[in-house]
């Protein structure tokens, strides 16, 4: 017969006493119930007020009867059901190869922000399906509202050895953490935790089965991005592994250490060489800017990849990331290539030659990719320029008084590099002495007759005209005017 059945079958019992006795049974204080029920059956009078006092004192002693633990655990320790519950008032660190053994049915209450960390040693916490081990927030012991994140974590560091947990309930903490170790975790229930139920690093090999995760921020085993460089085993069953972001690579990730060309002009094609590691099997290259297309070139190796990159005339300007797919995975290169406007290109100058003494000459600089911000430079000095079109710029060049070669080029401000310019190719503009052209160069004339010659100046005469002196080499035979003036233009 159950305790409550016995209570209901008992006659002549005070209602208030019966109510308190039933409450003690329902909340599991069976020892107190049996004692008080026995007194009542023996007709020993118990006033309801005193009965309530006894129950209250039982609660008080129960609340205070816990085993506090904190600090370093450097020698073997055994947490028994007789000493339960255990209260972690601060961080516990298992070290020096110590073994912490926890018996079935033990309750462990975690104080605010408390951790249990295995630095060097092991934990044997073998609960049973009938008598599980409970790891709870201390607020539960104090009949307060427990919440996710009340306590921190149980952490199994690389020094963790021979560790096994079975039939353990973890609730209202911040999850379990496994780093570089291989604990066996069977039939764990991880409930109402802040963050992931379990977090591991890329050197951890936890195993186990029958595990459950419910009510956590993430009901899964959190795996960080990175490279797995040693043999490990993901053997936990019942809870999913998940990678929140990034890539996990088995073996060293492929990578790029240098790129031979990082700037491409709109409307151009360049070859790009990439040096790195694990680049074999390059199958695809993509850039995140529109108007860029890549062609994979032959000759690639494990450390070298070659591509031909084309930027359309209207390709999106600016820095572009690249994604390369190789046998070892994906390589992402931030700011792999910068698309810039077309560099100005010079084709010819008109006039192609200047002459000493010619003065200021307007020169047509013909080419392509000019803008209204382009300007002409002569011997690396910018001069006044006019912009009629994207294919021509006019500039007034002062002619030197000596024979020389002038370097002519066009610059356009680089919109992506403050203070830098896009610079054209260079054309040499020679400055030479001017020579008059006499036509015809020779003539036969009869004495007493007049002949006409044409004298040509190699360039348009400047404002005010140009006057030249004429001299006959044999004045007695033939005479010429003393001077001749070429009108301006």
**pLDDT per residue as tens digits for the range 276-313:** 998 999 999 999 999 999 999 999 999 999 999 999 98
Mean pLDDT of the chain: 85
Contact 442, 463 (CB under 8 A): no
d(CA 404, CA 417): 34
Backbone angles phi, psi at 149, to 5 degrees: 85, 5
Of the residues 207, 233, 250, the one at which a domain ends: 250
Residues in a beta bridge with 322: 287, 333
DSSP string, 36-100: HHHHHHTT----HHHHHHHHHHHHHHHHH--EEEEEEE-S-EEE-TTT--EEEEEEEEE-TTEEE
Domain match, 229 and 265 both: no
Q: Are residues 237 and 279 in the same domain?
A: no
Q: Are residues 71 and 109 in the same domain?
A: yes
- Cβ count within 10 A of residue 309: 22
**pTM of the predicted model over 0.75:** no
pLDDT at 210 over 90: yes
What is the phi/psi pair of residue 182, to 5°?
-135, 60
Judgement on whether residues 102 and 135 belong to the same structural domain of the protein: yes
- Do 183 and 114 belong together in one domain? yes
Same domain, 326 and 363: no
pLDDT tens-digit profile of 188-206? 999 999 999 999 999 999 9
Task: Tell me the backbone φ, ψ of residue 50, rounded to 5 degrees.
Answer: -65, -35
- How does DSSP assign 427-464, residue by residue? EEEEEE----EEESS-----TT-----EEE-SS---TT
* Domains contained in the chain, number: 5
- pLDDT interval class at 489 (50, 70, 90): low
Q: How far apart are CA 371 and CA 343, in angstroms?
A: 10
275 and 396 assigned to the same domain = no
Q: Are residues 173 and 93 in the same domain?
A: yes
Cis link prior to 440 (omega < 30° from 0)? yes
Q: Which of 414, 432, 450 is the last residue of a domain?
A: 432
Site of tokens 């000019």: 370
Q: Is 25 helix (H, G, I), strand (E, B) or coil?
A: helix
Same domain for 232 and 96: yes
Q: 């208030």: which residue's tokens?
A: 16
pLDDT tens-digit readout, 49-63 = 544 444 444 444 444
Q: What are phi and psi of 387, to 5 degrees?
A: -115, 90
DSSP for residue 136:
E
Helix (H) or strand (E) holding 178: strand 176-178
Residues 6+ apart with CB under 8 A from 136: 107, 108, 109, 110, 146, 169, 171, 172
Per-residue pLDDT of 396-445, as tens digits, reads: 999 998 999 999 999 999 877 788 888 989 999 999 998 878 788 777 77
Joined tokens for residue 292: 């860029």
Report in angstroms the alpha-carbon separations of 462 from 401, 437, 454, 455. Answer: 15, 18, 19, 17
Please say if the pLDDT value at position 115 is more than 50. yes
Q: Are strands 304-311 and 427-432 parallel, antiparallel or unpaired?
A: unpaired
Question: Smallest Cα–Cα separation from 27: which of 57, 55, 69, 60?
Answer: 55
Q: How far apart are CA 223 and CA 204, in angstroms?
A: 10
| Structural domain harbouring 411 | 345-432
Predicted confidence (pLDDT) per residue in 443-478, tens digit: 777 777 787 878 887 777 777 777 878 887 777 777
Other CB atoms within 10 Å distance of the CB of residue 360: 10
CA–CA separation, 257 vs 259, rounded Å? 7
Q: Domain check: are 232 and 130 in the same one?
A: yes
Only one residue has tokens 């129960």, namely 62
Residue 365 and residue 426 in one domain: yes
The pLDDT assigned to 325 comes to: 92
Residues 152, 55, single domain; the answer is no
Write down which residue in 220, 250, 280 finishes a domain.
250
Q: What is residue 58's predicted lDDT score, i.e. its pLDDT? A: 42
């Amino acid at each position: 017969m159950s305790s409550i059945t016995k209570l209901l079958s008992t006659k002549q019992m005070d209602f208030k006493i019966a109510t308190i006795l039933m409450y003690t049974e329902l909340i599991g204080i069976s020892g107190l119930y049996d004692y008080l029920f026995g007194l009542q059956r023996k007709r020993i009078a118990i006033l309801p007020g005193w009965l309530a006092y006894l129950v209250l004192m039982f609660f008080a002693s129960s609340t205070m009867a816990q085993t506090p633990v904190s600090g370093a655990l450097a020698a073997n320790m055994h947490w028994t059901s007789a000493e339960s519950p255990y209260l972690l008032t601060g961080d516990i660190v298992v070290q020096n190869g110590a073994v912490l053994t926890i018996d079935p049915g033990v309750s462990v209450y975690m104080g605010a922000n408390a951790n249990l960390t295995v630095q060097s040693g092991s934990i044997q916490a073998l609960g049973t399906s009938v008598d599980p081990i409970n790891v709870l927030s201390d607020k539960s012991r104090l009949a307060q509202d427990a919440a996710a994140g009340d306590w921190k974590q149980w952490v199994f560091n690389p020094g963790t050895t021979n560790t096994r947990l079975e039939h353990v309930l973890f609730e209202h903490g911040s999850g379990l953490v496994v780093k570089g170790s291989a604990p066996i975790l069977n039939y764990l229930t991880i409930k109402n935790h802040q963050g992931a139920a379990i977090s591991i690093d890329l050197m951890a090999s936890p195993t186990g089965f029958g595990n459950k995760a419910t009510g956590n921020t993430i009901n899964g085993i959190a795996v960080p991005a990175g490279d797995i460089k040693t043999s490990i085993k993901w053997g936990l069953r019942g809870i999913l592994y998940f990678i929140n972001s990034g890539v996990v690579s088995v073996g060293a990730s492929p990578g790029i250490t240098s790129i031979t060309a990082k700037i491409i002009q709109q409307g151009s094609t360049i070859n790009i060489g990439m040096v790195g590691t694990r680049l074999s099997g390059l199958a695809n290259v993509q850039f995140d800017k529109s108007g860029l297309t890549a062609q994979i070139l032959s000759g690639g190796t494990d450390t070298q990849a070659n591509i031909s990159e084309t930027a359309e005339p209207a390709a999106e300007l600016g820095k572009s990331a690249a994604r390369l797919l190789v046998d070892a995975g994906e390589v992402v290169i931030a700011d792999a290539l910068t698309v810039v406007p077309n560099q100005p290109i010079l084709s010819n100058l008109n006039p192609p030659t200047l002459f000493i003494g010619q003065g200021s000459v307007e020169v047509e600089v013909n080419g392509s990719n000019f803008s209204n911000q382009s300007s002409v430079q002569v011997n690396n000095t910018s001069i006044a320029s006019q912009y009629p079109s994207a294919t021509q710029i006019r500039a007034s060049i002062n002619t030197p008084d000596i024979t020389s070669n002038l370097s002519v080029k066009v610059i356009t401000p680089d919109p992506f590099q403050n203070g830098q310019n896009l610079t054209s190719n260079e054309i040499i503009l020679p400055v030479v002495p001017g020579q008059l052209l006499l036509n015809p160069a020779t003539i036969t004339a009869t004495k007493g007759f007049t002949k006409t010659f044409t004298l040509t100046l190699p360039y348009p005469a400047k404002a005010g005209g140009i006057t030249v002196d004429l001299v006959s080499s044999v004045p007695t035979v033939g005479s010429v005017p003393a001077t001749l003036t070429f009108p301006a233009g």
